[in-house]
Structure 1
Amino acid sequence: MSGSAVSNNNRLSAHIPKHFMTVLVICIVLLGVCVLASLVLGSRPIRFHELIDGLFHPDVDSYGANVVRKRISRTVFSLCCGAALGVSGALMQAVTRNPIADPSILGVNTGASLFVVCGIAFLNISSANQYIWLALAGAAITAVFVYGIGSMGRGGATPIKLVLAGAATSAALASLVSAIMIPRSYVMDQFRFWQVGSVGSASWDAIATFSPFLIVGILGGFLTAPALNALALGDDAATGLGVRTGTLRLIAALAGVLLCGATTALAGPIGFVGLLSTHVMRLILGPDLRFVIPMSAISGAIILTVSDVCGRLIGSPGELEVGVVTAFLGAPILILLAMRSKVRSL
């Protein structure tokens, strides 16, 4: 990726997409509504004065104020994870030129899960810092493996071949996860709640651990967006515009895996957020990744936070894990996308 490539690509798509500012304002308003809903809704609804006490009066030690303070970290964590998954989905779709690529569909989440469960079973790990590095290694190895398998044969890495390779790999890795857990009850107890995907155990320590990976991954996505636009024209055209396609794919893929792996390590394998957020933004704004990637971050944060609130309301007085809710939302979207005849490549 070079400066000439970026400038050439900017000339190709220099205009701001239609309705971009309108969509941005609507998304920001929705994000604010989601934050408010996440703070006040749940098994224990919060009154207005309790919300004010929890936000602005740290000396107040009432039950409602303490609930708000607990929900603040959960809300921030949910926003961060949703943004990470949204950007990760956009990058994976761009790198593979596959409009239905997503960390869960390509098996990346399951690869991260396998490495985490191996760490719990064989290395006795228990901290978020250890989870992250194992999850990143598992996500990276799985992503390379799935892309390699999907690239074999005639036509290279077509969307359908990548999805099939991802589904097969995910099924195989999930079987390995079960084989490791079943004879080890202590591993199952530690792993089963994490495996579903949840932001309920959020803490400021987890957010601090996650933040460097989030910042680096999102910056990588933003910086590669102009050149990824050129890559959508095909490798030959992108090379003619000065893009080093191999280096570009490596950087963008690393950013996507970094975001997905870190999220999976701390929140579990939450699926379909990247697929749904990126697809909606691409339908509204068009294919320009300079706008799709940042808007996917915002829409991903909205989707995951809404799903978390819905899980709390549906499962009250307990809660339904957010990974279950996003699966219910994302599975019909995936089916509709797969049925469309134009799902070939980006």
Structure 2
Amino acid sequence: MTDPQWFKDLYYQLVKVRMTEEAIASEYSRQEMRCPVHLSIGQESVAVGVCANLNRDDVIFSTHRCHSHYLAKGGDLNEMIAELYGKENGCAGGYGGSMHLVDERVGIMGSSAIVGGSIPLAAGAALSFKQSHNSRIAVAFFGDGASEEGVFHETLNFAALHRLPLIFVCENNYLATASHMSARRCRDNLHQHGEIYGIPGKMVEGHNLLQIYCVTLQAVESARRGEGPTLIEARTYRAMNHVGPKPNSVVFSQQEKLWGSGYETCPVEWFEEKCIKEGGCTMDDLNKIRIQIQREIESAFKEAKRSLFPEMAL
């Protein structure tokens, strides 16, 4: 992990997510996008750290807040932006919108607006991989709110029983819409939920891309060896409102601040410092990456705006 190119590749993925989300937030007020958007600013490292360990034919199942997962797994940026505008060249043909991104070519099997909807679907894919005796794995991304759905516990049990090659990734931003976790749960221990089923649980800091990468690497290697699932809880921070382009307006009480405090560190700034101090990168290297990404984003928006709507949408 001292190879400058390795750091540059991760930085590219991380900043691509951040800059894309910022561009969406900036453009959204024009009211040309044909769907609500749930932005992942502040949570980018989770998707990037997890997906950096996956092969092209490994699969992920995502949530309503899916932009970061889609891009980190290699989804086509042009098709994603076109989808937000409801255009026929969007990744779902213009019919799915922000909450239903898909690119099966790179293992993005879909995202679900149903809370917890990604979890059983990922288990089904993992079961098929196990029965096919291949080394592919599935990842279920979900939030802390989904951990309160019955299907979460049902799937933990099923995955453990069948030793499925499945990684549960809980992005715990401590908010279900605007309800703080301390008002919904008696304990702050999501990563321990798998223990009763014999599933190892890991807790990582959501801004720490290197920690997320290393913990996921262990989970991936374990799954490929046939040792079954892992539950990863990434404690992170949602910098934006639940939906829409505005910054997070939730005001926490003193009691709520006791849960989830200290995870507001910007993942991009944190990793940028690591790239320079530990990765052998220069600020010029990183600026060149940002310039490249900005060009890609501008091109994607231009292409989306001039593209056609699907016939049935006219």
Class of the TM-score when normalised by the shorter of the 2 chains: under 0.3
Higher helix share: 1
Task: Report the structure number with the largest CA radius of gyration.
Answer: 1
Which structure's residues are more often strand, by fraction?
2
| Higher RCO by CA contacts (8 Å cutoff, separation 6 or greater) | 1
Alignment TM-score, normalising by the size of structure 1: 0.26
